Structure 1
Amino acid sequence: MTIVYRTTGAWGVGQGYNLTALQVDGNFYDLDQRIQAIEDNPPEPVNISNIIVVGTQMTIYLEDATVFGPFTL
């Protein structure tokens, strides 16, 4: 089910009038199902694979090849 919007905005064109009780309930149900899916199957974290310090510079590497730094210590 897709979320029903009343107004037009970043989400696209709304229907332009008040939502019915069924549409409101449907919106809440849709959001609840999405949240439940995330709670039941949380995404795997991206962990630190290694940290390298050279002199006063520290660089952090993640398992997905993301790099943070270098940072001055």
Structure 2
Amino acid sequence: MTLMAQPQEPHFFQPLLPGFQTYLTIPIVFFSKHIQGKTNGNTWTLTSDATDQTWQVIQEERLTHPRLEGVR
């Protein structure tokens, strides 16, 4: 059995569904473990592993659905 190497940076997989151009919902478990209470700012850079494309985003915290808003 082959084991896959663990990534060094925290990550999550999010299918890009209609509407992703304006916001992206972060999984609650990921937000709670890697983001909530651990940051000073609210601007993030998202990186696509598939294309090396990056997006500058603003974190908007909500009680039930933390999400990232696109910076224009």
Q: TM-score range by the shorter chain?
A: under 0.3
Higher gyration radius (CA): 1
Q: TM-score, normalised by structure 1?
A: 0.22
Higher relative contact order (CA 8 A, sep 6+): 2
Q: TM-score, normalised by structure 2?
A: 0.22
